[in-house]
Structure 1
Amino acid sequence: MLKLLRFLRPYRYMVAMTMFFMLLQSLANLYLPNLMSHIVNEGIVKEDTAYIWRTGGWMLLVSAVAAALSVAASYLASRSASGFGMRLRSSVFSHVERFSLQEFDKHGTASLITRTTNDITQVQQVLNMMLRMLVMAPMMCFGGIIMALSKDAELSLVIIVAIPILALAIFLIGSKGIPYFKAMQGKIDRLNLVLRESLTGIRVVRAFNRTEHERERFDRANEDLTATAIKANQIMAGMMPVMMLMMNVTSIAIIWFGGLRISAGHMQVGDLMAFLQYAMQILFSLMMASMMFSMVPRASASAVRIHEVLATEPIIVDREKPDPSGAGKGGQVAFEQVTFRYPGAEKPALSELSFTARPGQVTAIIGGTGAGKTTLVSLIPRFYDVESGSVRVGGVDVREWSQSELRSRIGFIPQKALLFTGTIADNIRYGKEEATDEEVRHAVSVAQAAEFIASMPDGLDTVLAQGGQNLSGGQKQRLSIARALVRKPEVYIFDDSFSALDFKTDAKLRAALKQETGDATVIIVAQRVNTVMDADQIIVLEEGKVAGIGTHRELLATCSVYQEIVKSQLTEEEIA
């Protein structure tokens, strides 16, 4: 947790003022019992009303100052902790944005969400408490002991006996509860994962009538978390009764032995009352420490999880001085003996791939499921780095480009169309923020989306639901294509982006794209032969290797894998 305190640095003056105010408040609280003892000993016993009023006024003033200091300290502590949480969340989010897909695979999306929200909230809450208690608890404890000794050193033996017993009880209870608090964060991750999968996949869940199964899966994760939370809180719940028992037993002992000392003339009544209050302050400070003790383990577990994210260095980083020297071949994409494997995989997903996709040409990639088509195009915008060989864009190894410069040259349409909450125009401008209305309308027209957009009440200003849930699959794909078109990149990558389109729309869209992307490099990943047969170059993949390269006619004559794909989709008449 200490490693995260650097995010508190901008608020160090607020933290210092918080601790200073808490110090003054503690001194004020320690001074009040002393004033009260004087009222009893000097005012009530001697029947000096004027002294009672005068000292009582001082008590009211000290109490008012202590209250004001407490409010000010609480305000500053809350401001500091909230600022800490804000900066930490921002830092984690910014750091996660730099992750490659490999780091996302390692941590998991659900876990990253939990760490950015729940875990940071846990640390923020404990920090808020610590800023106030870090000074107050020790000050009240040690200050109370000193003041108690000043009133009656022999009676202080009661406190000296009570403190170790209470501290031992707190330690034993806390040490049993800590493992459960640590386990809770992992179980929250699991609950978030199940919830996220169930909600995002609600259509599939209902289509296969698996609602009850998902409810049971959620209940199991929920019950697991609840059982752990109950166990942890059951253990920690024993702390308060133990503390109250010790406080009451200590009070009885102080009153009993104090009464004997008053009878013997070694102590005054006012001093006994003050001593009792000091004892309560000491034990109350231990109670505050125990509350922190119960919260810190969970916050520490959260802090470790947050630090794991911040300590994870992205594998894909820009070189210190990106050197795209030699760039001048437009958007030409070349794979040179590329081999790539996913972390932990036994065999490569791609092996010794070599081909060139040239500007002004359409390069199509086809193959069976698991052949490595999506993996191949993911290497171009450098979502992953190759194991060996090189991927070149514009004649330069993609590792030489800065990631932002490289990706600014690419229009990527993913396999699964993803839209963001906002208007249709906002989603299209995601590809080019400064795009004019005319550019947006042109992109929509080329993407064959103008007709269905015109039928909507607000046209381009129609607000989309989260993920574009109020659109069909084909409509979402066309908007994703428009988002790439408005960018006018040098390289277009269509990762199976026509799968949800009917044949008529598919044909019209490809015809419009041919005119729009004339000078760019176009790479199309597809399952349908009809989508790729007109390409200038078709690359056939089989188990991560190139099975053939050529035009439709050439591959029909030379590539058995391509022949099988064609025969499975087209009739004899269509092939002829």
Structure 2
Amino acid sequence: MFRIMRYLSKAEIGQMLIALVSIVGQIWLDLTLPDYMSDITTLVETPGSEMHDIWIAGGKMLLISLGSAACAIITGYFAARIGASFSQRLRSMEFRKVESFGPAEMSRFSTASLITRSTNDITQIQMFITMGLMMIVKSPIMAVWAVCKIAGDGLEWTLATGIAVVVLLVSITILMVLVMPKFKSMQRLTDNINLVARENLTGLRVVRAYNAEDYQEAKFTKANKELTDTQLFTNRAMAFMMPLMNTIMNGLMLAVYWIGAYLIDAADAADKLTTFSNMVVFSSYSVQVIMSFLLMSMVFVLWPRADVSAQRVLEVLDTESLITDGTRSDAGEAG
């Protein structure tokens, strides 16, 4: 997948750097929110606190939320621009390359495969650039940053978060092992259905002359069923991811508050408020950790098809035609 990135223009690379800065800014703002939440919790629970102080802390939280939303908009805008312009360039390059192909190259790839490579494959690459690159950058930074934030707040809470992450990773690994081969075969099946459909359209007179409509319909039904069954399998398998994430996240929240209840009950009177505040902050950071690992899993969902599509597009772009245009010199004309 990364080999095809060499076709990125300088302007697109610059836009990627701007998107990277906005992603880091969004992560920093998102991970700053729990600190103000802790301040508000402390102010609410402390007797004699001024309402003015609570309003100030709440106003800062609102400004940080708006800043995070602005960073997300900037990131999405530049990611969409990069994906659209890059896919446009790839389509143009592939079209020009196919125009130079001779009979040998056309028979090697087949017309149906070339149609898929210039449409569906380019779309898969565009989706990965628009969504996947943001996740690749955002998820590890968020995970490491959030873990550093919660590392010293409590061994019991950290252990609960670690167990939740392990359960999530094991579940995602099992899911990926099941769907990865299907994702990789999906482009080949798309080629096949394009081949059958185009064969029926170009040979329509022959099909009707030999009364072979039933044969062609059965052939298309078979190709269509293979693609449909593959897509149903992958979609049904991936449908488990969202309920699984919600179950693990809610279970982690329950564990954090359950452990926090015991810690607050066992703490001294002077430390109860601090422990409660730490529990509120830790619950927010633990959700960020789970979300970052979920984003990583989404990268592995987009990666297989995009990687296969990138390899298929590169096969076309790296193919040199056996028949090339010659040059005519003045001496040759004179002879």
Question: Is 2:290 aligned against 1:290?
Answer: no
Cα distance in 2 for partners of 1:130, 1:280 equals 21
Shift of 1:109: 0.6
**In the alignment, what sits opposite 2:130?**
128
Q: Provide the secondary structure at the position in 1 that maps to 2:8.
A: helix
Query: CA contact under 8 A between 1:18 and 1:131: conserved in structure 2?
Result: no
**In the alignment, what sits opposite 2:76?**
74
Question: Is 2:277 aligned against 1:276?
Answer: no
- Aligned ranges for residues 303-322 of structure 1 at < 5 Å? 303-318=310-325, 322=328
**In the alignment, what sits opposite 2:3?**
3
Query: CA contact under 8 A between 2:94 and 2:118: conserved in structure 1?
Result: yes
Query: CA contact under 8 A between 2:136 and 2:299: conserved in structure 1?
Result: no
Cα distance in 2 for partners of 1:112, 1:136 equals 34
Shift of 1:239: 3.0
- Aligned ranges for residues 541-556 of structure 1 at < 5 Å? none
Cα distance in 2 for partners of 1:201, 1:301 equals 30
Amino acid at match of 1:278: Y
Query: CA contact under 8 A between 2:113 and 2:191: conserved in structure 1?
Result: yes
Choose 1 or 2 for highest CA Rg. Answer: 1
Cα distance in 1 for partners of 2:54, 2:93 equals 57
Shift of 1:300: 1.0
**In the alignment, what sits opposite 1:179?**
181
Amino acid at match of 1:205: V
**In the alignment, what sits opposite 1:463?**
none
Q: Provide the secondary structure at the position in 1 that maps to 2:9.
A: helix
Deviations 1:201-221 (A, max 9, x none): 333333433333222211111
**In the alignment, what sits opposite 1:262?**
264
Aligned length: 328
**In the alignment, what sits opposite 2:26?**
25
Q: Provide the secondary structure at the position in 1 that maps to 2:316.
A: helix
Cα distance in 2 for partners of 1:221, 1:207 equals 23
Amino acid at match of 1:292: V
**In the alignment, what sits opposite 2:144?**
142
Structure (1/2) with the larger strand percentage: 1
Cα distance in 2 for partners of 1:43, 1:54 equals 13
Deviations 1:379-412 (A, max 9, x none): xxxxxxxxxxxxxxxx8xxxxxxxxxxxxxxxxx
Deviations 1:53-111 (A, max 9, x none): 00000001111111111111100110011111111111111112221211001100110
- Aligned ranges for residues 116-265 of structure 1 at < 5 Å? 116-265=118-267
Cα distance in 1 for partners of 2:332, 2:40 equals 90
Amino acid at match of 1:212: D
**In the alignment, what sits opposite 1:491?**
none
- Aligned ranges for residues 508-519 of structure 1 at < 5 Å? none
Shift of 1:8: 2.1
Question: Is 2:63 aligned against 1:37?
Answer: no
Question: Is 2:309 aligned against 1:302?
Answer: yes
**In the alignment, what sits opposite 1:553?**
none
Q: Provide the secondary structure at the position in 2 that maps to 1:312.
A: coil
Gaps of 5+ in 2: none
Question: CA distance change for structure 1 residues 209 and 58 in 2, over 3 Å: closer, same or farther?
Answer: same
Query: CA contact under 8 A between 1:155 and 1:257: conserved in structure 2?
Result: yes
Tell me the TM-score normalized by structure 2.
0.92
**In the alignment, what sits opposite 1:378?**
none
Cα distance in 2 for partners of 1:98, 1:189 equals 22
Question: Is 2:328 aligned against 1:326?
Answer: no
**In the alignment, what sits opposite 1:469?**
none
**In the alignment, what sits opposite 1:95?**
97
- Percentage identity across paired residues of the two chains: 37
Cα distance in 1 for partners of 2:238, 2:202 equals 37
- Aligned ranges for residues 444-455 of structure 1 at < 5 Å? none
Cα distance in 1 for partners of 2:60, 2:93 equals 49
Cα distance in 1 for partners of 2:154, 2:8 equals 43
How large is the Cα RMSD of the aligned pairs? 1.9
